[in-house]
Amino acid sequence: MKTSIVNRLLLLILLLSPAFFAQADSGDVYFTMGVHNTEGCNEKNGNCIAKRAPGDPSDPFFPAYWISDWTMYRVMRNYEKNPPPYSNPPSTLSPADYTVSQGTSYYDTTYIPADGDGFGAMMEHYEKYCLPIFPIRNNNYTCSFVSLGNKAYFLTYPQDRPKDMPACCSFSPMNHPPRQDFIQHLPYSPARSQNLGGSVQAYALDLASPQGPILFGYAFYKQATGQPPVRLPQSFYFSGDTSVANAPIVSQNYTHFRVAKPDPAQTWAQVAAMCPANPPPCQLFEPPASLSNGKKAQWNLLRQP
């Protein structure tokens, strides 16, 4: 009898423990080297903050809010000898080496979600060609990733939504927008900073995955412009799905960057309009058979190198 009572008390303690709930809610939280959450970051790895050498330039910062269009290059060939960052269009590649699509990013650190869970908002809108990092057989559809505070959602649209894909799904309960100082998590790359005639500050990290290293990089212009002066982002470059999507390198090159607040009606409000109260979990990393290309995802299994 005493043993039974003790066991029940232990079970009650576990159920009421915050650690228990943290473990139960840890699904769909992905390692991002501290950029979108603190998953996997601790004192042993310096909280995922990259070390800077004495001669490295000071870190650039995102403005508190901004909007920018971008051209996305899916690079299929000749990237080994011609790594990013790339010019717009890539001068070190031929047009046969890449495909081109368009999109827009919206960013606002002042946003507070209605449920009070975190702060900041960001929307990455991919027009007619979705982000090619998932094992999905056809990326020719429009999509948006929207982070509202800590929660992130994935949206698709009726004009080209793939069959069996919902209008809205929950991408992650902990995937906030990059903070203004997010670049502190990426090592400075002197070699990549020589690209584009030395006009950029390039940062890059190769994250470990079961199928090999995954590139995650960013470049900012060295020269600050505007009032107040800001070093604007030049490009975001990364490894994509190398199977059916054939996207070993992807580069989003920013154009028409402007320091302006996004219109909530055209951005964040899409989540309330398109998502149910409790949207289903996304299946992007493990899509159903009707959408899958039959390969395994990589970006959901990243580890610190």
Give the whole-angstrom CA distance, residue 289 versus residue 150: 30
pLDDT at position 302 is 47
Half-sphere exposure of 63 (CA within 13 A, CB side): 22
For the stretch 40-62, pLDDT in tens is 999 999 999 999 999 999 999 99
Give the whole-angstrom CA distance, residue 127 versus residue 160: 10
Q: What angle do CA 198, 199, 205 make, to 5 degrees?
A: 75
Buried b (16+ CB within 10 A) or exposed e, 77-110: eebeebbbbbbbebeebeeebbeebebbbbbbbe
For the stretch 172-211, pLDDT in tens is 999 999 999 999 999 999 999 999 999 999 999 987 766 6
Nearest to 67 by CA among 5, 14, 121, 13: 121
Confidence band, pLDDT 50/70/90 cuts, at residue 304: low
Confidence band, pLDDT 50/70/90 cuts, at residue 300: low
Res. 266: pLDDT tops 60: yes
pLDDT at position 64 is 97
pLDDT at position 4 is 46
For the stretch 90-101, pLDDT in tens is 999 999 999 999
Confidence band, pLDDT 50/70/90 cuts, at residue 226: confident
Q: In the chain, which ranges are continuous DSSP H helix? A: 2-16, 18-24, 195-198, 269-274
pLDDT at position 161 is 97
- The mean pLDDT value of the chain amounts to 88
Query: What's the mean pLDDT in 145-169?
Result: 97
Give the whole-angstrom CA distance, residue 48 versus residue 45: 6
Domain ranges of the chain: 24-301
Nearest to 112 by CA among 176, 61, 22, 66: 176
Q: Hey, what CATH class is 24-301 in?
A: mainly beta
Assess whether the previous peptide bond of 210 is cis (omega < 30° from 0).
no
Whole-model pTM: value is: 0.88
pLDDT at position 286 is 87
pLDDT at position 285 is 84
The dihedral built from the CA positions of residue 190, 192, 197 and 198, taken in this order, carries a sign that is negative
pLDDT at position 252 is 98
